[in-house]
Structure 1
């Protein structure tokens, strides 16, 4: 019974934390936004950006998982309290707007809610996946908890590592999930295969909603777009589709990459295209690159390509050649990680485990 109460509390609590982090980012950087969904997405990026900056040094220095958990809890608590205290006016404004949220919604809006609800039920109660990647993500969370360490043991065998696995060394997503398990007492299977799968679904549709609002003049058509995407996701299941990752492997970093990070980069490209001055999105590009590495090392090649596809056409169109250095800075984290990875697989560079 306690577990059943903790599950929705953690799910809603994470959304609240994302919202607080996003509102702090928006207000402090003068980024104009009136959309709660956009704020949650910014907070999601900020959450994993900050976790990467804090967890990687602690892992390399041999810190214990319980220490990382308390440090992270303290950092998040300070930022949430600061956000609430500093942005009371914004919260009141959103509170006034929420009263009229349900007025004027078309039938497509309610159909959309039903379709997304079906997907949430599917990933929480029906999905099954026994791949090697699935075993790694759950096994890594479990191993970190059992050994009170950070990526210091092989999740497949439990063997103590002398050197960190170069394929996953900067991907701290399992460690972030282990921290959630440590702080809440929930089982790794519950956190990964239920809560995080549902979170991936919700955030992916928030991204698509923001893309729809940026592209469609008639805002009610956004709900039609989400209905269409829902139908595609429910019926397009091949190993090559992001729909398969969304509904059967939503707790894996690659699922978050293809369903949240890459569409979010496309959204940032739209914002850069539509704004007279695109400097406001550069910090978001940089933070997204770091957060993507935290989620999965696959980002080291995919994210720079995606950033190039949305940034370079904007630079050419607006003839802002001076912003090329900002583009290079945005892709730099992924390029550096790729360099470390290539040195590691060739045996030139190894990062020892400190105990």
Structure 2
């Protein structure tokens, strides 16, 4: 049990935080705090996995080779992040400790609501028919030391690749995590990864709230603080989510019932992040690294679901029209088009491999 706790803290807490701090330090975005470090770190983990794994799957590299390569890359990036940003991290941790009891009451209420929602994944488990494929694919990869070479339904070897899943292999990322932490993929998905993804989703919403309610974006700057309004924003979203189970396919439902599935991660974490980041690019065009973070997010979308190759392009297209074409901002319009390149790459690859 102790090894599982340590592995969870390492791979789902420390490593993504240090990876995010590393990237933000290179981009000189030290004004971003611990929340942005964690969110950016997860995006890096997803994007690095996507870039690394697709060629390995298509060349039929064993699963253990991929798992070891990915672990080495993550640990190197985290180690460099710790060395490079240790003073900044210490400063962030010190400021967080000093301000722990000096936040608005809405922040504590919002934090409690989020933790309760995350806890329900630990205490209870909900399964559906999609688990028969996604969890079984991860289990099959570990047991056979292959990636998408055996059917998770029958256990028989397959003659070709199911390209929809091979180009968006989120299950292989989960299989690697389960091997590193030392738990079964089903335990990882339902009990460990799911609550962490719930917290990650609300960290994205926290970032969104701080941007929407920043003083420069509000007419009345004195009535309420940005922190108080952001806490109310999170509380409002929590109420929306916990009352969303009137349909199994809306965003609130997938967030609290099956967020470990790639398409649910796309809907709950990555699409909201794209909304936040594209709006931030419009509000703060002078910031460095906006395009790099956008491309990282788009690669992440491609990892989690085949729908992540198409739907994020729609999101970027909407922002390109609203803040690029309609406002005659050619620079912003060009950035949105450039952000579609990862999705275009995997879309073209799918068409080429399908026609062979």
User: 1:28-43 maps to which residues of 2 (within 5 A)?
Assistant: 28-43=26-41
Q: Counterpart in 2 of 1:353?
A: none
Quick check: 28-37 or 166-175, which moved more? 28-37
User: 1:102-121 maps to which residues of 2 (within 5 A)?
Assistant: 102-121=100-119
Quick check: 116-125 or 19-28, which moved more? 116-125
Residues 97-118 of structure 1: per-residue CA shift (max 9 Å, x gap): 1222223223322222222122
Q: Counterpart in 2 of 1:287?
A: 296
User: 1:158-177 maps to which residues of 2 (within 5 A)?
Assistant: 158-177=155-174
Distance, in Å, in 1 between the alignment partners of 2:252 and 2:174 is 23
Structure 1 59/194 Cα, relative in aligned 2: closer, same or farther at 3 Å? same
2:254 to 242, 245, 248: 245
User: 1:132-147 maps to which residues of 2 (within 5 A)?
Assistant: 133-147=130-144
Q: How far did residue 330 of structure 1 move?
A: 1.2
Q: How far did residue 142 of structure 1 move?
A: 0.5
Structure 1 244/127 Cα, relative in aligned 2: closer, same or farther at 3 Å? farther
Distance, in Å, in 1 between the alignment partners of 2:182 and 2:94 is 36
Structure 1 22/317 Cα, relative in aligned 2: closer, same or farther at 3 Å? farther
Distance, in Å, in 2 between the alignment partners of 1:227 and 1:277 is 31
Distance, in Å, in 1 between the alignment partners of 2:239 and 2:4 is 27
Q: Counterpart in 2 of 1:57?
A: 55
Residues 180-234 of structure 1: per-residue CA shift (max 9 Å, x gap): 1222321111111111111210011000000100011422221111111111111
2:134 is the alignment partner of 1:125? no
Q: How far did residue 278 of structure 1 move?
A: 5.9
Mind listing any 5+ residue stretches in structure 1 that lack a counterpart? 350-355
Structure 1 235/11 Cα, relative in aligned 2: closer, same or farther at 3 Å? farther
Q: How far did residue 326 of structure 1 move?
A: 3.5
SS at match of 1:87: helix
Aligned length: 343
2:200 is the alignment partner of 1:200? no
2:10 is the alignment partner of 1:22? no
Residues 155-197 of structure 1: per-residue CA shift (max 9 Å, x gap): 1222212211022111121111111122232111111111111
Structure 1 34/321 Cα, relative in aligned 2: closer, same or farther at 3 Å? closer
Alignment check: 8 A CA contact 2:57 2:166 kept:
no
Distance, in Å, in 1 between the alignment partners of 2:164 and 2:41 is 27
1:220 to 225, 228, 241: 228
Q: How far did residue 29 of structure 1 move?
A: 1.8
Distance, in Å, in 1 between the alignment partners of 2:18 and 2:282 is 27
Q: Which runs of 4+ in 1 moved over 4 A?
A: 322-325
Q: How far did residue 317 of structure 1 move?
A: 6.1
Distance, in Å, in 1 between the alignment partners of 2:60 and 2:78 is 28
Q: Counterpart in 2 of 1:236?
A: 244
Taking structure 2 as the reference length, the TM-score comes to 0.90
Residues 66-87 of structure 1: per-residue CA shift (max 9 Å, x gap): 1111111111111111111111
Alignment check: 8 A CA contact 1:173 1:296 kept:
yes
Q: How far did residue 6 of structure 1 move?
A: 4.0
Mind listing any 5+ residue stretches in structure 2 that lack a counterpart? 216-224
Q: How far did residue 25 of structure 1 move?
A: 0.6
SS at match of 1:167: helix
Distance, in Å, in 2 between the alignment partners of 1:9 and 1:312 is 46
Distance, in Å, in 2 between the alignment partners of 1:297 and 1:256 is 12
